[in-house]
Structure 1
Amino acid sequence: MNKPAIVKPCNEKTFQQGNVYCRYDSDEVSAFMPEMLNSDYWQVNNAIVGSAQGRGTTWFIATDNAAGIMRNWVLRHYYRGGLIGKVINDQYLYTGIANTRAAREFSLLTSMRSLGLPAPKPVAFRVIKHGLFYRADLLSSRIENASDLVGILSKQEINQLLWQQIGKVIKTFHQQGIYHHDLNAHNILIDDNDKVWLIDFDQGEQRKKRVKWPEENMARLLRSFRKESNRVSNFQWREKNWQALLNGYQS
């Protein structure tokens, strides 16, 4: 598989006021305001064009920039999972900006984009510090004309060549040392041109390539397919599709 093309990294700027710290791409946002990391801001400006439910609500935003160019973004608030999430929900222990979930994901997205990997472009993040804890939000680009793999397979089959392409794309990330903390069928998108994308890199990181984490990543993905096959009626996935994906990954 050809190496991904190198892409110009984002033009990062920072904003800090009181207990609020933000970083943003000034090429994407010419007149940044921290309120842009709040869904209420976009609701008032009639820029919310959809949403999706997961651990929390993900908001889809369509807005013009100063040059009149339409921007399509995704706004996500960070929520905890598991039992601890039922107690403190969206608060995390603050140990410095660089260690926050939002800053780490923003930096990882920036790195992946600079490598030409098919992942969302980072737009902005916000961290609000409250004593020993913080809350955070992330704004990133929305992948145009794309659907997640679970949504696609709940309606139709995909051909073996596309399964192989999914495997090849995942391998490209792994070759660059990109660990996806939650690699599952929901976080694989396919657009109208059959281009494969990976999204949602919360807790992801760039790791050394010589250890066995890629195998764990792939095992998690396989569990995801099997889980959705039991959960979603008429889910168009079979074990043979996994083998086609592996063939692409190993090619």
Structure 2
Amino acid sequence: MSQAIPTAQFSKLEQGKVACFFNETLITDFSADMLSPSYWQQKEAVTGSAQGRGTTWFVAYSDNNSIQHDWVLRHYYRGGLMGKINKDSYWFSGLESTRAACEFALLRHMQTLQLPAPEPIAYRVVQHGLSYKADLLSSRIQQAQDLVAILSVKALVDDVWRRIGATIKRFHHHGIYHHDLNSHNILLDDKEQVFLIDFDRGELRTNPVNTSWKQANMARLQRSFLKELNKLEKFYFTEQNWQTLMKGYNRSN
């Protein structure tokens, strides 16, 4: 994972119906094409991919100092029934309210808090009449796998489960709402450090009175573990694991 740069400068680029926002400290040769898979394919800089609602691309960028940065390129797709009708178009009501701009801003905020989440690199919004499509570049967590991939192979020790709970509590403590907190969006790197990813539709919630969203987040996560347990032939998750995770969550400030 590339490190957050405290003095990072961000710039906006507009070309007709295309609007981009990017970290000019990291990208000195930015172009809107960098938010397209074909750009990286032509440069033979695609290092991998993953399938979800659509294809997520892993790409490598070399800066002016020949330092390689590993990034994730993601297109915004709708889920559920709506996704079957309209897979990737959203109502445009201003650039700052687009899915990409909101996630980018939240990721920037989390970087200032030094939370274990991806660093935002760039986003692109393309208007089509009254709608838009969007893409996001963010840093890749190095040598990491999601919990579903890991638990399909082996069990985790209690200390790791406690640290997963404690990490989620750190985000909640700072008012970070993860709209889709599930076992696919929690990563462990090769040192078993915990990271959260995919903050699409996430929000900053600082109202000290309304905290029910935190319990809803945890309930959603528990359901995702049970879903994988019922779906996969091998999945190393037990009720005791969940209780240990919650002990880590409840003991953290």
Question: Fold-level match, TM-score > 0.5?
Answer: yes
Conserved 8 A contact 1:7-1:115: no
2:164 to 163, 166, 169: 166
The TM-score, its normalising length taken from structure 2, stands at 0.95
Unaligned stretches of 5+ residues in structure 2: none
**Stretch moving more, 208-217 or 101-110:** 208-217
- How many matched pairs? 246
3-state SS of paired residue (1:186):
coil
1:108 to 99, 106, 109: 106
Looking at structure 1, the residues matched to 163 and 7 of structure 2 have their Cα atoms a distance apart, in angstroms, of 26
**For each residue in 1:107-151, what CA deviation from the matched residue of structure 2 results, as whole angstroms up to 9, or x when unmatched?**
000000111000000000000001100000000000001110100
1:57 to 55, 60, 70: 55
Report how far residue 210 of structure 1 moved: 2.9
What is the correspondence of 1:20-35 to structure 2 with a 5 Å cutoff?
A: 20-35=18-33
1:130 to 103, 128, 131: 128
Report how far residue 9 of structure 1 moved: 6.4
Counterpart residue type for residue 209 of structure 2: R
Report how far residue 8 of structure 1 moved: 2.1
* 1:91 has 2:62 as partner: no
* 1:232 has 2:232 as partner: yes
3-state SS of paired residue (2:184):
helix
Over the matched positions of the two proteins, sequence identity in percent amounts to 52
Report how far residue 10 of structure 1 moved: 3.7
Looking at structure 1, the residues matched to 185 and 179 of structure 2 have their Cα atoms a distance apart, in angstroms, of 11
Looking at structure 2, the residues matched to 219 and 242 of structure 1 have their Cα atoms a distance apart, in angstroms, of 11
3-state SS of paired residue (1:182):
coil
Report how far residue 79 of structure 1 moved: 0.6
TM-align CA RMSD: 1.1
Looking at structure 1, the residues matched to 148 and 223 of structure 2 have their Cα atoms a distance apart, in angstroms, of 13
The TM-score, its normalising length taken from structure 1, stands at 0.96
Runs of 4+ in 1 over 6 A off after TM superposition: none
Looking at structure 2, the residues matched to 9 and 56 of structure 1 have their Cα atoms a distance apart, in angstroms, of 34
Counterpart residue type for residue 210 of structure 1: V
Looking at structure 2, the residues matched to 29 and 150 of structure 1 have their Cα atoms a distance apart, in angstroms, of 33
Conserved 8 A contact 1:144-1:191: yes
Report how far residue 182 of structure 1 moved: 0.2
Looking at structure 2, the residues matched to 201 and 234 of structure 1 have their Cα atoms a distance apart, in angstroms, of 28
What is the correspondence of 1:130-149 to structure 2 with a 5 Å cutoff?
A: 130-149=128-147
3-state SS of paired residue (2:221):
helix
Looking at structure 1, the residues matched to 188 and 7 of structure 2 have their Cα atoms a distance apart, in angstroms, of 23
3-state SS of paired residue (1:185):
coil
